[in-house]
Amino acid sequence: MSKTIIVSNRLPLQIKLQKNNLEVKPSVGGLATGMKSIHEDGNGVWIGWSGLTEEDLNESVSRQVNQALEQVNCASVPLTQENIDNFYLGFSNKALWPHFHYFMEYTEFEKDQWDSYQEVNQKFANVVLEHLEDGDKVWVHDYQLLLLPKMIKDKKPEATIGFFLHIPFPSYEIFRTFPWREDLLEGMLGSDLIGFHTYDYERHFLSSVRRILRLEVQFNEISYEDRIVKVDSFPMGIDYDKFHHAAKKHVNLPNDKKSELRKRLDDHIQSSSNAKLILSIDRMDYTKGIPNRIRAFEYFLDKYPQFKEKVRLVMLAVPSRSDVPQYRKLKRETDELVGRINGKFATVSWTPIWYFYRSMPFENLIDLYTSSDIALVTPIRDGMNLVAKEYVATRVNQDGVLILSEMAGASNELDEAILINPNNFEELANALKNALEMPLEEQKKRMGILQKRLSRYTVEKWAKEFMKSLNSTLKEDTDNAVQKMNPTNQDSMLNDYNKSQKRLLFLDYDGTLAGFKNNPQDAKPDAELITLLDQLNEKQNTDFVIVSGRDRETFEQWFNHKSYSLITDHGVWLKDKNEDWKMLERLKTDWMDNILPILESFVDRTPGTFIEKKKYSLAWHYRKADPELAMKRAMELNTVLTSMTSNNDLKVLKGNKVMEIKSSSVNKGRATSRWLTKGPYDFIFAIGDDWTDEYMFDELPNKAYTVKVGSKKTKARYYVKDTENVRELLSRFV
Ligand code: GDG
């Protein structure tokens, strides 16, 4: 039975080791809850670091830990202290975390840490590969493991792999400055499905993929090598019922059962008729905007002094990554700010900020949520922010106001909150005043809508939706009738080839026999290719023809001294082995004078594009242009040209990063089907990479072996990954 393997940096467990005594406790985080049903389904495994370094463990304890983990269907990745320093505290938290959150001034690019990041991702891959069986699915989580999908895919191409990024994906302008940007993107593209919290992160990622890797993106699908990678947004939810039910219990608690914290919070609320509590909860992280929030609170108290002695900011900052210098600096800054502001405003009976630097048990967290009239969630940048959602879930009487930063992913879904820009103190101070004075009726209206939404799209639903989408990538794959050329179907094709009496091979040139170059003239055949073509040309009973959109002049230059059969200009010219060139189609060229100025105006407005003037066609190449601008211009040009060419017997062909205008009476399909009359052939093979080759695949008889290069979206029967595979395949014919 197939299973799902979940992979995250940390296992959803807390392991305590005291004097060789082992205590394993499940952790109760949102992710663990969401993944619960998937983990428990069948014989699922969760792979991650246990929290104990190799230095913490001796052989016998290590065995004990592994056994304990096995019992709860987990497996650990062995990491050393050096790994933690360089991979986790180093590359993950000093390069990726600040960079992806737009804190470029905090980003450190260290080669040693990058090496460690690769090494540790490989360690994770090794453990995954030990557990991975045919038919299994893998779901990889977060920024510590960006390289893992590719490492698994390279070893197990048939594995179905999903990846979810819990933090923002930055805009292309930021991402492009990352030294190892290609490796990170390629690592992620080992997946079949890549998920983000929001559509913004999704489009930033797609933009980087287009611009940096120059890959073809259609809607939310990336054509990568011979695969399609799907990209989508899945906003993560919370365990709504857990928070809602816990809050219900808390609200009705008798006095003697209340925690000390709750009693102190109650004291404040009862201190005057309009005393209010404002809550903030975050990990102590510079992305969460803690100092800004405190300063904005100071600004608020200065601007609206009527709230002095009435409102209190209760601030819980949970210690985090304190081995990283920026976090220690943030802690110092926060301590100082709280001290200064409390000193500035405090009276004998009131301190404006209650500041806790620690983590609290769940019950106290609920005390804070249920006692606070306002939640002030103001990150500078946050992938999602679950605290905002948890606050909503705990408001069992539907009162309370959420003030939320627009820079948190959650703001996309929580429109009924008061949304603010955390850098605008004026807006923040006014939001606080509005929230404090908001009529109960309006609070209930807003809270009601928010609760309805969050109770529907829970973390469990989120995980299920992701898995459903991952499963559908698998289904699309099996539905697709186009088969990958593999050793089995290749052998059967060669068997037919060897048995046949008269064979015909049609080979496209650019993107098939030779890779693309920025300048089309640079794609000249190399020595290896010439040797291969010579060998094919010498084969007995075998006609091989290069069928190209290239012009006759170029092929004359390149293959001048050769006796190959050539079809050029998409089928205008034909040269049969030892004969002279013949014109297959008589074509007019007077239309070019009208079209050329239009193409020139597009070249002027689209840097990096250029026109190739052929004898019978005009091509506008946009391979070197910005892909997003080029796509927009290509659509524009297509509209202009189609309206102009409709009566003109002209056709606009979309090739690979090129648009070509030519007579509609000529295409590779017509040229190749004419050649068939030289038969009968009992073995026909055609291979090509773009839309112009589809005409050829379409016209050939069903029994022909038709092969597409680099994509599964084709009328061909088979596909191969790249030009290297083409050469390997053709070398089997010689
Ligand atoms: C990352 C992304 C994204 C906090 N203090 C205590 C405590 N917590 C719990 C909260 C909440 C969680 O920690 C914090 O989650 P956030 O989403 O707010 O933030 P990150 O830790 O930065 O998480 C973030 C998330 O991943 C999920 O994809 O939303 O954007 O940065 O659940 O309740 N829990 C307890 N005591 C505490 O003192 N028990």
379 Cα to the center of ligand 1, angstroms:
12
For the CA of 236, the nearest atom of ligand 1: 28
For the CA of 28, the nearest atom of ligand 1: 39
281 Cα to the center of ligand 1, angstroms:
9
Q: Which residues, in sequence order, are bridge partners of residue 356?
A: 316
pLDDT of res. 478: 57
Q: Which residues are within 8 A (CB) of 240 and not within 5 positions of it... i.e. 6 or more apart?
A: 393, 454, 455, 458
336 Cα to the center of ligand 1, angstroms:
24
Ligand 1, atom 36, lies closest to the CA of: 360
For the CA of 388, the nearest atom of ligand 1: 18
Residue 650: which of 585, 604, 589 has the closest Cα? 589
Q: Which residues are within 8 A (CB) of 461 and not within 5 positions of it... i.e. 6 or more apart?
A: 237
Residues with catalytic function: 508
Options 2.60.120.10, 1.10.3720.10, 3.40.50.2000, 3.40.190.120; CATH of 240-446: 3.40.50.2000
459 Cα to the center of ligand 1, angstroms:
13
CATH 3.40.50.2000 domain locations along the chain: 4-79+121-233, 240-446
611 Cα to the center of ligand 1, angstroms:
54
For residue 190, what are the CA distances in angstroms to 165, 183, 337, 674?
Answer: 14, 11, 45, 42
Task: Please give the Cα distance from 113 to 90 (Å, whole number).
Answer: 6
Residue 399: which of 453, 440, 455, 451 has the closest Cα? 440
- Mutation test of ligand 1: which of 143, 198, 283, 286 has the most ligand atoms closer than 8 Å to its C-beta? 283
Task: Please give the Cα distance from 348 to 480 (Å, whole number).
Answer: 75
For the CA of 358, the nearest atom of ligand 1: 38
436 Cα to the center of ligand 1, angstroms:
25
Ligand 1, atom 21, lies closest to the CA of: 283
- Mutation test of ligand 1: which of 387, 412, 462 has the most ligand atoms closer than 8 Å to its C-beta? 387
- Mutation test of ligand 1: which of 143, 234, 357, 386 has the most ligand atoms closer than 8 Å to its C-beta? 386
Options 3.40.640.10, 3.40.50.2020, 2.60.40.10, 3.40.50.1000; CATH of 483-585+666-731: 3.40.50.1000
Q: Which residues are within 8 A (CB) of 498 and not within 5 positions of it... i.e. 6 or more apart?
A: none
φ, ψ at 467 (rounded to 5°): -65, -35
pLDDT of res. 199: 93
Asked whether the CA dihedral 55, 57, 60, 62 is positive or negative, the reply is negative
CATH 3.40.50.1000 domain locations along the chain: 483-585+666-731
pLDDT of res. 717: 93
For residue 522, what are the CA distances in angstroms to 34, 304, 545, 558, 658?
Answer: 53, 70, 22, 11, 16
**142 secondary structure, DSSP code:** S
For the CA of 166, the nearest atom of ligand 1: 28
Quick one: tokens of 186? Answer: 């390629």
φ, ψ at 471 (rounded to 5°): -65, -35
Give burial (CB, 10 Å; 0-12/13-18/19+) of 278: buried
Ligand 1, atom 23, lies closest to the CA of: 385
For the CA of 31, the nearest atom of ligand 1: 27
- Mutation test of ligand 1: which of 384, 412, 462 has the most ligand atoms closer than 8 Å to its C-beta? 384
Q: What is this structure's pTM?
A: 0.84
Answer whether 26's CB lies under 8 Å from 13's CB: yes
* Cis status, amide bond into 319, omega within 30 of 0: no
pLDDT of res. 516: 83
Decide: helix, strand or coil at residue 361.
coil
| b/e code 205-235 from CB counts within 10 Å (16+ = b) | bbbbbbbbbebbbeeebbbbbbbbbbbebbb
| b/e code 292-330 from CB counts within 10 Å (16+ = b) | bbbebbbebbeeeeebebbbbbbbbbeebbeebebbeeb
Task: Please give the Cα distance from 93 to 99 (Å, whole number).
Answer: 9
Ligand 1, atom 3, lies closest to the CA of: 384
For the CA of 29, the nearest atom of ligand 1: 32
Ligand 1, atom 6, lies closest to the CA of: 359
pLDDT of res. 649: 75
pLDDT of res. 131: 96
Q: At what angle do helices 627-645 and 199-212 cross, to 10 degrees?
A: 80
Task: Please give the Cα distance from 56 to 39 (Å, whole number).
Answer: 27
315 Cα to the center of ligand 1, angstroms:
14
Task: Please give the Cα distance from 52 to 45 (Å, whole number).
Answer: 19
Ligand 1, atom 27, lies closest to the CA of: 166
Ligand 1, atom 15, lies closest to the CA of: 386
Q: Which residues, in sequence order, are bridge partners of residue 161?
A: 138
Answer whether 156's CB lies under 8 Å from 191's CB: no
385 Cα to the center of ligand 1, angstroms:
7
pLDDT along the chain (734 residues), means of 10: 92 83 78 81 90 88 89 94 96 97 96 98 98 95 98 96 98 97 98 96 96 89 90 94 94 86 84 88 96 97 96 95 92 97 95 95 95 97 96 97 97 95 96 97 97 93 93 71 88 93 95 86 90 92 93 90 91 88 83 89 89 90 89 88 72 85 84 88 93 89 93 87 92 91
Residues within a 6 A CB radius of ligand 1: 30, 166-167, 236, 281, 283, 316, 318, 359-360, 362, 365, 382-387, 390
For the CA of 386, the nearest atom of ligand 1: 17
Counting Cα atoms < 13 Å in the Cβ hemisphere of 169 gives: 29
What's the CA angle centered on 418, arms 417 and 422, to 5 degrees?
120
The CATH architecture one would assign to domain 592-663 is 2-Layer Sandwich (3.30)
- Mutation test of ligand 1: which of 8, 96, 280, 281 has the most ligand atoms closer than 8 Å to its C-beta? 281
Ligand 1, atom 33, lies closest to the CA of: 387
The residue type of 361 is: P
Q: What is the CA radius of gyration of the chain?
A: 32
Task: Please give the Cα distance from 646 to 583 (Å, whole number).
Answer: 25
Q: Are strands 374-377 and 401-405 parallel, antiparallel or unpaired?
A: parallel
387 Cα to the center of ligand 1, angstroms:
6
Task: Please give the Cα distance from 379 to 286 (Å, whole number).
Answer: 9
Ligand 1, atom 1, lies closest to the CA of: 166
Quick one: tokens of 662? Answer: 């030519």
612 Cα to the center of ligand 1, angstroms:
56
Ligand 1, atom 10, lies closest to the CA of: 387
pLDDT of res. 498: 92
Task: Please give the Cα distance from 353 to 344 (Å, whole number).
Answer: 11
- The domain 4-79+121-233 having CATH identifier 3.40.50.2000: the answer here is yes
The residue type of 303 is: K
Answer whether 348's CB lies under 8 Å from 271's CB: no
Q: Which residues, in sequence order, are bridge partners of residue 651?
A: 662
Task: Please give the Cα distance from 153 to 162 (Å, whole number).
Answer: 11
For the CA of 197, the nearest atom of ligand 1: 28
390 Cα to the center of ligand 1, angstroms:
10
